[in-house]
Structure 1
Amino acid sequence: MPLPSSCDVLVAGSGNAGFSAAVAARQAGAKNVILIDKCPEDWAGGNSYFTAGAYRTVHGGKDDLLPLVNNVDEATAAKIDMEPYTVEDFSNDMKRVCAGRSDPALSSILIGDSISAVKWLKSIGIRFQLSFNRQAYEVDGRLKFWGGLALKTEDGGKGLIEDHKAAARNHGISVFYSTPLQHLLTDPASGAITGATVLQNGRTKIDIKATAVILAAGGFEANPRMRTQSLGPSWDLAKVRGTPFNTGDCLEMAMRDVSARQAGNWSGCHSVAWDANAPSHAGDRVASNEFTKSGYPLGLMFNLAGERFVDEGIDLRNYTYAKFGRAILGQPGQKAFQIWDQRMIPWLRSEEYREERVRQIKANTISEMADKLADCGLQNKDAFISSMKAYNKAVYAFQEENPGKKWDPAVRDGCSTQSSTMKLPLGKTNWALPLDKGPFMAVEVTCGITFTFGGLSTVPETAQVISESGKEIPGLYCVGEMMGGLFYENYPGGSGLTSGAVFGRRAGTAAAKALSNMFSAAADRAKL
């Protein structure tokens, strides 16, 4: 299909934020909406495709969420324990996890709109489920949800993007792949957006007239040069978890063409413990999020020097997994080992740790494990063995002093290594059980980068882009990973997809309303 020469709203980016913006614009009255992406169609979805499909949202407990999901029968519902997740809870998590730096207006809108955005997504055909496999543990016969996060999409990011594509078709949105955005076009007098130059099929430059352009083209996480320049040394060595097409082109274009103001944490990013044997420069469309290795709270992590380097139990996984990738990148060789014993191995998620997905290193004793890890790069076997022994001794000392403490992976259980008789220099704050029941299992992990936190400055209510002069740029909007100011250092799990939906919906609606107002004003002038 030939690319039209004009449209009402042009959206750049085929991820969750871009599709949300496009559908919202159509629903708000824009008659002709075009969505483009520089990737070929078989890479559609941006980083959203590679997620687990988790959405963090305010809710009043399971009765609020059960009407939204398709995977809970009556018997299962009766076994679910799910605490309400309030506006205050979400707000406190944003403040704590993002070190108090998140833009308060952006954060407030994200939180306040979260449940309405999820319900809107369901109304356009996104299929939601309760995330039993990732966000609940069965404890004493009860399914206990934890960490303020319960919703995911059916079939994760893959299902999310399929549903978004179907919603776009249902709303009459024209989608063009292999069509990168190259330039923003503006009115020389007013500075308002008048369209964009795109490159169709990598060959033909085309100018498209548009009243509004919505940028939803991702960050610069797939650009080794930009990663090193902004994030620092060694970040060119991080493995790319998702799409290889998020190379920061549209960020640089917006700053070049319309002097868009930068915002947010340009030295920060979302990065996780990632399979060390995964592809380096792009995610695997089949394995997708299964290369994540998030079972570290159940065990321990060691670097190549045989030393622990993080408190694996400092907080629930939802609040640590997005920053522990950076911690791993800072270790010798940008690599670490995760290890568990027979007590913990059954609690690991099979999609991440099954034999078909990850290289399992098994040993009957700690000494034997040290030998096998040495073949994988462990440089100090004695340090590893002594660290394991010290850890186990500290756990037993804590248990002797606190005989009533019960291990519970669904709460911050306080089962620690730190007692009055023994304290480790680096303790484990929660979920500390001895690791001395063989056989043992270990896996190799490195840093996998998900998305970058630096972006463009926007008006919180509409996601309209702000220029270096402090003025709003008429007709230009920015959402998703490109929007700066929301996340700093870390982020509460599941809030990225929620942000894309919340601000994508707002941007699409605002763009269509601005178009309608312009037509109304023109009609009024014609009557005079």
Structure 2
Amino acid sequence: MRNPDVVVVGGGNAGYCAAHAAAERGRRVVLLEKAPRAHAGGNSFYTLGSTRMVHDGLGDLLEVLEPDERHARTEVPPYSAVEFLADLERVTGGRGDKELAEAVVEGSRDAVRWLHALGLRFQLMYERQAHEHPDGTFVFWGGSHVRNVDGGPGLVSVHEQIAARLGVEVRYDCPVTGLMTDGDSVVGVRIGDQELPAESVVIASGGFQANAEWRQLYLGDGWQHAKVRGTPYNTGDLIQAALEIGADRGGDWSTCHSVPWDASFPENESNRALTNRLSRYGYPLGIVVNRRGQRFLDEGADFRNYTYAKYGKVILEQPGSVAFQVFDATSRSMLAAYEYEMPGIIPVVADSLEELAAAMEVDVDGFVRTVREFNSSIDTSRSLDPTIKDGRGASVQPVKSNWASAVEAPPYYAYPVTCGISFTFGGLRGDVDGRVLDRSDRPIPGLFACGETLGGLFSGNYPTGAGLTAGMVIGRRAGSLA
């Protein structure tokens, strides 16, 4: 059988985008997936499909959206390239690769349209990114408004269908163990004791979040105990293989995407049935306390889209690496059913604050004092409005900057949360076309990287939906050159 022109390692969103782009150019493409067929899809399978993209409002999006009768009652604010870049700059503290950020932002709309033309279907994220006003109008917020239909499972399924139509050969249960080289060039991959030559190799096998030893080494002590949200197969093997042949490290190896994650459900790691239903992102509407009954973060610092990926780390640092999201009857009614009515969820419920604290096994006096001080410090001159940063704050320490609402209407609810790690921000260093660079800043001939393998775009924090977009844009660019 003739050798492939391009080998793509990793069958998630980024890998498939690279494979599609290469196949459209007439390249013979083989995609190698480490996981068996039943567990394929990488981290992409576990996503909600949120895709952050530049657009001019609802009218501009309609060409890629599935029909929905709610569109007539919907307001979607435009999201410009300037806003997208500013969000990336702000949430990463300016530590991201600016050229890479510009390439992702500028290519975001075209990448979505390209995938839509290939068969991927999109819809607005009504359940997660919009609030319904009393008059029936849906108002979107937070910059990330679009997702693919059926979330991660739908994303992977359609990618597989597109690949089959384009003639991409996909091999499952096929872990790559090394890279073949000829001088300075990469000329294929090793699979056990076998070799698969190719003109180009695209590494799209994710970061190292499922490698507890590397997490402890690079993220710090304690990270070995974080819960792995997504695939257990992203262990950094191909990052290591590339480093061994002279590739340079890219991005921030000391931080990651980590979120508030259910702490009570027994099977809360790599759960393909529940995926994102184990996330707990309603905290801006309530308060979060540790085992001492004390608040320790600003729940309303920004829209959830811009804080959730850094608050997992803060929870990990609390006693026992556990915290509790607390709501009263009023705020509980505003939470997303997708998460807070998950099958098997075990909230703590009580009719008094004292009973709730005792059931949570937190310091009762400390918790009651925390809640009463919080309630009395709220700026009630401002109205609660979850669709904007409403400035309705609580002047306690730490402050709550927006969406402060008194915890005063029984019954009271508490949801135990821990740290769920999604992916690591450090990886290989590459250029805007996904070409992997060596330690002298030169591209390694024949070697590309995209998706979570490519470091540099994120540091410390992350805006919702940017990861899938980056995989689409850079994966497409890498596949167009490979």
Superposed, which structure 2 residues align to 1:107-256 within 5 Å?
107-141=101-135, 142-188=137-183, 191-199=184-192, 205-256=193-244
Residue 24 of structure 2, aligned match among 27, 41, 45? 27
Matched, 1:392 2:375: yes
Residue 402 of structure 2, aligned match among 430, 439, 442? 430
SS at match of 1:244: coil
Report the AA paired with residue 440 of structure 1.
Y
Q: How many residues align?
A: 481
Report the AA paired with residue 121 of structure 2.
R
Residue 39 of structure 1, aligned match among 13, 32, 35? 35
The 1:279–1:270 alpha-carbon spacing in structure 2 relative to 1, beyond 3 Å, is farther
Matched, 1:72 2:65: no
Query: What's 2:412 paired with?
Result: 440
Deviating runs (4+, > 2 A) in structure 1? 277-282
The 1:225–1:278 alpha-carbon spacing in structure 2 relative to 1, beyond 3 Å, is farther
Query: What's 2:392 paired with?
Result: 415
Residue 478 of structure 2, aligned match among 507, 512, 527? 507
Cα offset for 1:363?
Answer: 0.6
Which structure has the bigger radius of gyration?
1
Q: Could you tell me how far apart the structure 2 residues matched to 1:105 and 1:469 are?
A: 18
Provide, for residues 392-425 of structure 1, a one-character-per-residue CA deviation record: whole Å limited to 9, x for no partner.
1112xx21xx2xx22111110111113xxxxx12
The 1:56–1:355 alpha-carbon spacing in structure 2 relative to 1, beyond 3 Å, is closer
Provide, for residues 341-397 of structure 1, a one-character-per-residue CA deviation record: whole Å limited to 9, x for no partner.
1111111111111162421211111111111111xxx2x1111110001011112xx
Superposed, which structure 2 residues align to 1:270-419 within 5 Å?
270-278=257-265, 282-354=269-341, 356-374=343-361, 378=362, 380-395=363-378, 398-399=379-380, 402=381, 405-418=382-395
CA contact (8 A) 2:262 2:268 kept: no
CA contact (8 A) 2:265 2:346 kept: no
CA contact (8 A) 1:291 1:357 kept: no
SS at match of 1:10: strand
Cα offset for 1:29?
Answer: 2.4
Residue 450 of structure 1, aligned match among 410, 416, 422? 422
SS at match of 1:344: helix
CA contact (8 A) 2:268 2:278 kept: no
Provide, for residues 317-345 of structure 1, a one-character-per-residue CA deviation record: whole Å limited to 9, x for no partner.
00000000001001000000001011111
Report the AA paired with residue 146 of structure 1.
W
How large is the RMSD of aligned CA atoms in angstroms?
Answer: 1.2
Q: Could you tell me how far apart the structure 2 residues matched to 1:225 and 1:175 are?
A: 30
Report the AA paired with residue 419 of structure 2.
C
SS at match of 1:113: helix
Report the AA paired with residue 468 of structure 1.
R
Q: Could you tell me how far apart the structure 1 residues matched to 2:50 and 2:173 are?
A: 28
Cα offset for 1:71?
Answer: 4.4
Q: Could you tell me how far apart the structure 1 residues matched to 2:114 and 2:285 are?
A: 36
Query: What's 1:105 paired with?
Result: 99
Provide, for residues 183-205 of structure 1, a one-character-per-residue CA deviation record: whole Å limited to 9, x for no partner.
111112xx112111113xxxxx3
Cα offset for 1:140?
Answer: 3.4
Query: What's 1:516 paired with?
Result: none
The 1:499–1:173 alpha-carbon spacing in structure 2 relative to 1, beyond 3 Å, is same
So what's the TM-score if we normalise by structure 2?
A: 0.98
Larger displacement relative to structure 2 (176-185 or 310-319): 176-185
Provide, for residues 66-90 of structure 1, a one-character-per-residue CA deviation record: whole Å limited to 9, x for no partner.
22111422xx222111110001100
The 1:434–1:281 alpha-carbon spacing in structure 2 relative to 1, beyond 3 Å, is closer
Q: Could you tell me how far apart the structure 2 residues matched to 1:17 and 1:365 are?
A: 49
The 1:209–1:174 alpha-carbon spacing in structure 2 relative to 1, beyond 3 Å, is same
Cα offset for 1:277?
Answer: 2.7
SS at match of 2:349: strand
CA contact (8 A) 2:277 2:342 kept: no
Q: Could you tell me how far apart the structure 2 residues matched to 1:279 and 1:454 are?
A: 30
Report the AA paired with residue 235 of structure 2.
T
- Report the identity percentage: 42
CA contact (8 A) 2:250 2:426 kept: yes
SS at match of 1:7: coil
Cα offset for 1:278?
Answer: 4.1
Cα offset for 1:492?
Answer: 0.8
Matched, 1:261 2:248: yes
The 1:279–1:206 alpha-carbon spacing in structure 2 relative to 1, beyond 3 Å, is farther
Q: Could you tell me how far apart the structure 2 residues matched to 1:169 and 1:110 are?
A: 26
The gaps in structure 1 that reach 5 residues or longer are 200-204, 419-423, 512-528
CA contact (8 A) 1:5 1:208 kept: no
Report the AA paired with residue 161 of structure 1.
V
Q: Could you tell me how far apart the structure 2 residues matched to 1:373 and 1:121 are?
A: 47
Q: Could you tell me how far apart the structure 2 residues matched to 1:357 and 1:308 are?
A: 27
The gaps in structure 2 that reach 5 residues or longer are none
Q: Could you tell me how far apart the structure 1 residues matched to 2:164 and 2:2 are?
A: 20
Cα offset for 1:304?
Answer: 0.6
The 1:499–1:279 alpha-carbon spacing in structure 2 relative to 1, beyond 3 Å, is farther
CA contact (8 A) 1:329 1:335 kept: yes
Report the AA paired with residue 220 of structure 1.
F
